[in-house]
A and B are shown apart, each in its own frame.
Chain A
Amino acid sequence: MKLVGDKLREWAINEQSETKADAFGRSAFNRYYYASFLITRGMLKELNPEWAKAKHKNIPDILKKSLIDRVRRQIKIIERKKLFDVRDSSKQRRSLNIAVAGLSGLLSSASSVRVTADYEPECQVVRAGNLITLSNQSLEAAKNWPDRAEAFSKVILKVWRELGLS
């Protein structure tokens, strides 16, 4: 999916026709969003297959509420049994909070740009040399969405495993 986004981005940059550049550019945003969404869904499937069935718009809430609640509950149990010391628990909490905030924020903003790309043809892609933007979001930054989603997902999985949850 990211590979397709990269190709579309390349075409959008090099295209002479503004109409075609707009079509390629907005499709690249779409692909980068879906690549990030699928990475997140794959991670959620490993944690709890039910969470992976959620609608796109509910995923940030699953991350911020259901996932965080489950981890906090488990950390409390582990602390009570002294299987973690205070340093270990605060390290796990911090890693998880940063990864969840990063991933939910990314998906929420990326999904808004994706909706603009797909449903608002009147919002045109703007080109300035190699820089392409749609609704203030640069395609250069969107290109990094999947890598970021991957890194955040890996940390969430790592914390989950270290708590004995999978």
Chain B
Amino acid sequence: MGFPDIEEIKRYLHARRAAYIKNLRVRAIDGLILATVYDTSIAKKAGQGKTSYRQLSYLKKIIQERFRADIKFVILQGKENLELEAGLNALLREKVSDSFESCFLTISEPQQADAWIEVVGIPSMSLKEIMIKIEHLVRNFLALYEINLSHVHWGGTDNEFISLPAILRAIKIEAPIDESGLSALLVEKGYSIPPVAWLKKKLDLLRKRGMVIRRWDGKYILSAEGVENVPSGRIRTSSDVERALALGRKKW
């Protein structure tokens, strides 16, 4: 594609009332049109001065067909969202300075936000309590701007949710393995220490579903169905390769 007539495209966008495009220019090195759109102008549905991702991809197609030009929408953080984040960071720095590292927001729908919070140095005994306190502060702060907090993504904490697929994979790699070995392996993989009774219950569930077999010596192995349900492949990170490496370690 050659260099497009930017003035003609500007006139076209003006006629379409695309006021959400704040800057339009041609990149000299490759002729690509760069259009700046602030995230505060994007909503789930286009209308009332806002656009949507769907409308932007439609506009891209139209410009390609009509002007034989390639356009890229550069989505930048709007001033309002930058200020909102700065205010939230200042609040958390003041209220929970010992345990707070950083925070940012993703606003996927109007008036709905996800918070991404990095905590630091919290003793595991008081982790739950501090997480509740921070979540409460964030929720109340966002409510002032009529924004609902959808979810908090925590960083700097152990992963407390150990799923059944993760347990199956761990058994496949180190089988035969007893409960304490499995617990240690899960911790090594970044999970918090699973309570003994909880792990026993999960293993019992997997056994009843025919995916795991408990041997005479109390160690666990996968059944054929269990093996089928652990994703495998030939890449370095696959469970088959990890299993082979674990067997190699046991042998030596």
A136 touches B23 (CB 8 A): yes
Closest residue of chain B to A160 (Cβ to Cβ) is B237
B155 touches A151 (CB 8 A): yes
A162 touches B165 (CB 8 A): yes
Interface size, B (range):
35 or more
Given A84-B164, A148-B104, A164-B230: A119 and B29 within 8 A (CB)?
yes
CA distance A80 to B72 in the complex (A): 40
Collect the chain A residues with CB atoms within 8 Å of residue B180's CB.
none
From the candidates A81, A98, A105, name the one contacting B75 in the complex (CB within 8 A): A105
Collect the chain A residues with CB atoms within 8 Å of residue B23's CB.
135-136
Collect the chain B residues with CB atoms within 8 Å of residue A152's CB.
116
Given A102-B106, A136-B76, A151-B155: A47 and B82 within 8 A (CB)?
no
Interface size, A (range):
35 or more
Collect the chain B residues with CB atoms within 8 Å of residue A164's CB.
163, 165-166, 168-169, 229-231, 239
Interface-forming stretch among A8-16, A21-29, A33-41, A137-145?
A137-145
CA distance A140 to B104 in the complex (A): 13
Say whether A154 faces chain B, with CB atoms less than 8 Å apart.
Answer: yes
Closest residue of chain A to B118 (Cβ to Cβ) is A151
B74 touches A109 (CB 8 A): yes
Q: Top 3 nearest A-B pairs by Cβ distance? A: A164-B165, A164-B169, A162-B163
Give me 16 A-to-B residue pairs in the complex whose CB atoms sit less than 8 angstroms apart, sorted by A's number: A48-B237, A50-B235, A78-B229, A84-B165, A88-B163, A95-B151, A99-B153, A102-B106, A108-B72, A109-B75, A115-B27, A120-B29, A136-B36, A162-B165, A164-B239, A166-B237
